[in-house]
Structure 1
Amino acid sequence: MILTAEPQWQNKQLDVIVDLTPTKIYGDESLLYQVWQNLFHNAIKFTPENGTIQVTLAKNKDGQTEITIQDSGIGISQEDQLRIFERFYKADLSRQAKIGGSGLGLSIVKRIADLHEMKIAVDSSEGKGTKIIIQLPKQ
């Protein structure tokens, strides 16, 4: 999925750092692909030229497997973070920047994550980027 998006991130001269610990992930492969694709494409879309995107898959301090996608993009306000998983919602900064999209992507991500009993956390600051953390259920 990261390689299929290479033309987009190469075009913006983004530095993409990938650190994946080999792990089995159980679930619907095509639905989970949609999750990773949507989150990675959002990171590309909202990160300015010469920015950085980091993708990691590792165990946290509690032994839970987490997938993290972090960017150095425009960030999301605290107010908007409360609503970004709602259908058709577009954060104020993305509207101001006239960045395309339907506002459905993150609501789909949330729905698929819920179906797979995954937890999603957002850590973001305007102008400093966004970190999305998906915690996989214990197997």
Structure 2
Amino acid sequence: MQLKNILAFAGYCLAAAGTYCPLLRLFGITNQNLFAINKPYGLLILFTCIVGIVLLSAGRRHNAQTTARILLALVIVLFAGAHFKVHNTFSGITYKGIGGYLAGQVKFIWGWYVLFAGAILSVFTTYASKKRIEK
């Protein structure tokens, strides 16, 4: 196995592990991972990681590139959705100060770094250029 395949494998494994890492801290009391936030979406990201690993193992590099792009898009959409959900959940409260205070109590924590690092690592290593043979 080549080094770029090993790094892509590590990226997919890192993204899969990121689904179990804490992503949100609610009011300083509890942490939530991806499956507590949105279970079907977590399973979709985990399934995408598994498909990418299988494609890398089978030597289907072009399909692994597509899977890496899909994984990165899913993580970006997840982050945007979580951000909008946190800030819009408390927008129905009449007093804006209270709503802003409650939205500020929901913190994004270190699990996002793991998810993004895995997705970006898998994208960059599947797109690593091949060495050209000079004639």
TM-score by length of structure 1 reads 0.31
TM-score by length of structure 2 reads 0.32
- More helix by percentage: 2
Higher relative contact order (CA 8 A, sep 6+): 2
Q: Which has the larger radius of gyration?
A: 2
- More strand by percentage: 1
